[in-house]
């Protein structure tokens, strides 16, 4: 009886050993690419320095490819107000992945033109602007400038003023 139980345990252990051995062998037959980032590339940046973007992105070569961290990096880049669109692509390369950030920068304000302002001097109006020449276009800053200009006109008695910002 004891001999029989010993044989069962031996057969069971041998079967388990062979199963583990063959599963490892099968896993080695189908090589998988490690989830390690080998390289990070930034495409589409024209006025924003690559070094600046690289500083803001915390994901680095050698790190494990992690969607949560990549989302964090995209949010960080959007928070700068420098980009209209950010896409991230992964490309499988030898020994891991290449991470490509495809960036679309906001336009840079080349000039600010105020027309139709006979009631208040141009210099006075320009002092109220929060939008600045040479900076990236930011819709929030434009709204702030419009609001300040409208307040300035109301202060001077022009209560039905309409200001329409335009991008050219």
| Chain segment 149-159, per-residue pLDDT in tens | 888 888 888 88
Q: How confident is the model at residue 10 (pLDDT cuts 50, 70, 90)?
A: very low
User: So what's the pLDDT on residue 27?
Assistant: 46
Q: Is 95 left (phi over 0), alpha (psi -120 to 50) or beta?
A: left
Residue 22 pLDDT greater than 60, yes or no: no
Residue 13 pLDDT greater than 70, yes or no: no
Query: CA–CA separation, 111 vs 168, rounded Å?
Result: 10
Decide if 146 contacts 163 (C-beta within 8 A).
yes
User: So what's the pLDDT on residue 12?
Assistant: 47
The pTM (predicted TM-score) of the whole model is: 0.66
- By three-state DSSP, how is residue 118 classified? coil
104-119 core/surface letters (b: 16 or more CB in 10 A; e: else): ebbeebeeeeeeebee
Query: Over the stretch 96-106, which tens digit does the pLDDT of each residue have?
Result: 999 999 999 99
Q: How confident is the model at residue 78 (pLDDT cuts 50, 70, 90)?
A: very high
Average pLDDT over residues 6-24: 46
Residue 112 pLDDT greater than 70, yes or no: yes
Most confident option among 1-5, 51-55, 111-115, 132-136: 51-55
User: So what's the pLDDT on residue 111?
Assistant: 86
Taking Cα atoms as reference points, which of 29, 39, 27, 93 lies closest to residue 63? Answer: 39
Of all residues in the chain, what percent carry a pLDDT higher than 90?
42
Residue 142 pLDDT greater than 60, yes or no: yes
């Amino acid at each position: 009886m004891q001999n029989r139980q010993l044989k069962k345990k031996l057969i069971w252990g041998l079967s388990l050993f062979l199963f583990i051995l063959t599963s490892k062998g099968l896993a080695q037959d189908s090589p998988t690419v490690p989830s390690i980032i080998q390289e990070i590339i930034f495409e589409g940046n024209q006025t924003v320095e690559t070094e600046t973007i690289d500083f803001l992105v915390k994901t680095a070569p050698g790190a494990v490819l992690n969607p949560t961290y990549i989302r964090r990096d995209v949010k960080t880049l959007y928070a700068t107000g420098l980009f209209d669109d950010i896409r991230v692509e992964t490309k499988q390369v030898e020994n891991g992945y290449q991470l490509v950030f495809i960036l679309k920068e906001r336009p840079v304000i080349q000039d600010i033109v105020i027309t139709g302002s006979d009631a208040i001097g141009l210099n006075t109006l320009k002092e109220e602007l929060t939008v600045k020449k040479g900076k990236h276009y930011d819709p929030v800053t434009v709204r702030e400038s419009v609001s300040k200009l409208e307040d300035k006109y109301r202060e001077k008695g022009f209560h039905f003023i309409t200001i329409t910002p335009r991008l050219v």
